Amino acid sequence: MKDKEKERSKLSEALLVIKSFGSFLLRHHPECEIFKGHAIKFRKHEFCIGCFIGYPTSFITIIILGVFKLNESIPSNYLLIFGILFMSTFFLSFTGATKIKFIKISQKIFIGFGSALIFWGILSLSFPFSTNLIIDLLVFSVILTFFNVYHAYGLYKTCKKCEYHFKWGQCSGFETIRNNLKKYDLPNLIVDIEFRSKSKKENKEAKIK
């Protein structure tokens, strides 16, 4: 009986940790002025524009094209060409134009729409279906890896320039999470992450010396 109570307690604690990080799980960016343009507010919550606009657009377009069999009436080369054109709006990110929220949202819609066209364009190629599916998986694995690395680097570069410089235990962008952890009487995981980062850096410097 005691083991069950302990197990229940661990599960409860794990759920409280998830709840504490809730805002970050939706935003995917720290809650600070610098990253304000990366989130869109809906009622009480803020959502990452890239994930909550781009991915749904892609999935919905894939379903619509498949259900109405529009992919069969449009040649695969057209699907691929227009898909690449829509997805190329990604390069607006390098111009600074996406600092305007309307342009950023539009860009994510175009990228999502373009990825759906590419998905069906590849599946509609004259190769066997299994071959097309493998090509699709490989292409989208590369695309998703590139996007995630690019966004992770963007987050790293921005935080590196910040006055807190990865001191997440003090950073205002993680204040809500720290307050939630304190409220639920949980370990301050943000400070722990910061401490581990410091330890690794100090160990590396010690080895060099």
Confidence grade of residue 149 (pLDDT, cut at 50, 70, 90) = very high
pLDDT above 70 covers what percent of the chain?
A: 88
- What is the domain extent for residue 147? 53-208
- Specify the pLDDT at position 172: 87
Q: Given a cut of 70, is residue 120 above it in pLDDT?
A: yes
Q: Is residue 164 part of a domain?
A: yes
* Res 148 pLDDT > 60: yes
In a domain, 46, yes or no: no
Residues 66, 67, 72, 74, Cα dihedral to 10°: -80
Looking at the structure of the chain, the number of domains it has is 1
The pLDDT score that the predictor gives to residue 199 is 55
Instruction: Annotate the chain with DSSP letters as a single string.
Output: -HHHHHHHHHHHHHHHHHHHTHHHHHHSS-SSGGGGGGEEEETTEEEEHIIIIIHHHHHHHHHHHHHTTHHHHS-HHHHHHHHHHHHGGGGGGGTTGGGSHHHHHHHHHHHHHHHHHHHHHHHTSSS-HHHHHHHHHHHHHHHHHHHHHHHHHHHHHHHHHSTTTT-TTT-GGGHHHHHHHHHTT---HHHHHHHHHHHHHHHHHHHH-
Instruction: Give me the pLDDT at residue 89, please.
Output: 97
Which tens digit of pLDDT belongs to each residue from 13-40? Answer: 889 999 999 888 998 888 888 888 889 8
Q: Is residue 27 part of a domain?
A: no
What six digits make up the tokens of 1? 């009986």
pLDDT of residue 169: 83
Q: Classify residue 183: in a domain, yes or no.
A: yes
| 150, part of any domain | yes
CB 112 within 8 Å of CB 57: yes
What are the b/e assignments for 168-187, b being 16+ CB within 10 Å?
bbebebbebbbebbeeeeee
Per-residue model confidence as pLDDT tens digits over 158-189: 888 888 887 888 888 899 999 999 999 888 88
Is the model's pLDDT at 122 over the cut of 70? yes
pLDDT, greater one: 46 or 193: 46
What value does the mean pLDDT of the chain take? 87
- Residue 36 inside a domain? The answer is no
Query: Residue type at 67?
Result: V
Tokens of 108: 């994510």
In a domain, 74, yes or no: yes
Distance (Å, rounded) from C-alpha 38 to C-alpha 105?
A: 9
Residue 35 carries which side chain, given as an amino acid letter?
F
Does the pLDDT at position 123 exceed 80? Answer: yes
- Indicate whether 32 belongs to any domain: no
pLDDT range class, residue 65, cuts 50, 70, 90:
very high
